């Protein structure tokens, strides 16, 4: 078990050269019904082909040992690049837990919300920019679809079971990655240039920090390794 990270923050950067595979095409959701999804074109971002793109990858670690799962690593204020993935992800209430715990979607993206438990749940969004919702969802009932039109980090809870929580992170560009069990992430097909690389985790939210950032230089067809190290509270 990891303890809540404190605000101390360091970054290690290592660079290595490797070949970059070609970009993949759009991914479209396959559903048993037609759901209107309109990805908005955020101000300042243009979808375009990327030539000789680079990769940023690494791990989110704790100085006391171990890694951090469900952290979102993303590039801020990038003006152009690869296309958004146009799929409809699912946030599921199952076995008294939200799956996944953290979900990242593009501006204008739609989320399918499901309850596959044998008891009733509630869906309560704590949004400031996007439209909030607070409604019950029956046991194994029909899914609910909600659209998020503005960049924001939205907490989702269940008023019936207060211990349940999840996060929907709405991003204005497609350059992001969620860390897995080993704390690893990878962001690919990045146009060469200098960018702000951001890190968000719900523990930082509790600390009152929106995110942590560092400057990175992405070179053509090169990989940049950026490891985030967080100090845990004693």
* 173 pLDDT more than 80: yes
CA dist 129 and 60 (Å) reads: 29
Could you tell me where the DSSP H helices lie in 155-201?
none
* 121 pLDDT more than 50: yes
CA 112 to chain centre: 16
- Summarised one tens digit per residue, pLDDT across range 61-109 is 988 889 999 999 999 999 999 998 888 999 999 999 999 999 999 988 9
Per-chain mean pLDDT for the chain: 82
DSSP state letter for 163? T
CA 57 to chain centre: 15
**Whole-number Cα distances in Å, 211 to 9, 127, 196, 204:** 11, 17, 11, 7
The CATH number of 50-81+176-234 is 2.60.40.10
The residues of the chain that CATH labels 2.60.40.420 are 85-173
CA dist 85 and 27 (Å) reads: 6
Considering the segment(s) 85-173 as one domain, its CATH architecture is Sandwich (2.60)
CA dist 110 and 234 (Å) reads: 40
User: Pick the residue with more confidence: 229 or 19?
Assistant: 229
Across 54-66, average pLDDT: 92
CA dist 78 and 125 (Å) reads: 28
User: pLDDT value at position 9?
Assistant: 46
Contact 60, 230 (CB under 8 A): yes
E strands present in 18-96: 46-47, 54-62, 72-76, 80-81, 90-94
User: In the numeric block, which tokens belong to residue 124?
Assistant: 């309560």
User: pLDDT value at position 200?
Assistant: 93
The residues of the chain that CATH labels 2.60.40.10 are 50-81+176-234
* 136 pLDDT more than 70: yes
Across 203-217, average pLDDT: 78
């Amino acid at each position: 078990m990891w303890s809540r990270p404190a605000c101390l923050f360091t970054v290690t950067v290592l660079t290595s050269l490797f070949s970059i595979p070609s970009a993949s095409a759009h991914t479209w959701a396959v559903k048993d019904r037609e759901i209107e999804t309109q990805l908005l074109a955020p101000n300042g971002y243009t979808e375009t082909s990327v030539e000789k793109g680079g990769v940023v990858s690494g791990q989110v670690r704790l100085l006391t040992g171990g890694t951090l799962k469900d952290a979102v690593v993303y590039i801020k204020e990038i003006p152009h690049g690869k296309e958004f993935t146009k799929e409809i992800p699912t946030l599921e209430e199952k076995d008294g837990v939200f799956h996944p715990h953290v979900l990242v979607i593009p501006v204008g993206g739609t989320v399918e919300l499901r309850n596959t438990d044998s008891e009733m749940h509630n869906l309560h969004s704590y949004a400031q920019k996007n439209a909030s919702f607070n409604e019950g969802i029956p046991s194994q009932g029909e899914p609910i679809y909600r659209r998020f039109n503005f960049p924001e980090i939205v907490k989702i809870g269940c008023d019936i079971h207060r211990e349940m929580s999840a996060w929907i992170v709405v991003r204005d560009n497609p350059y992001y990655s969620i860390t897995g069990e080993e704390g690893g992430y990878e962001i690919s097909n990045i146009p060469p240039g200098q960018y702000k690389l951001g890190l968000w985790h719900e523990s930082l939210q509790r600390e009152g920090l929106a995110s942590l950032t560092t400057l990175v230089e992405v070179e053509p067809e090169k990989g940049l390794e950026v490891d985030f190290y967080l100090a845990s509270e004693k």
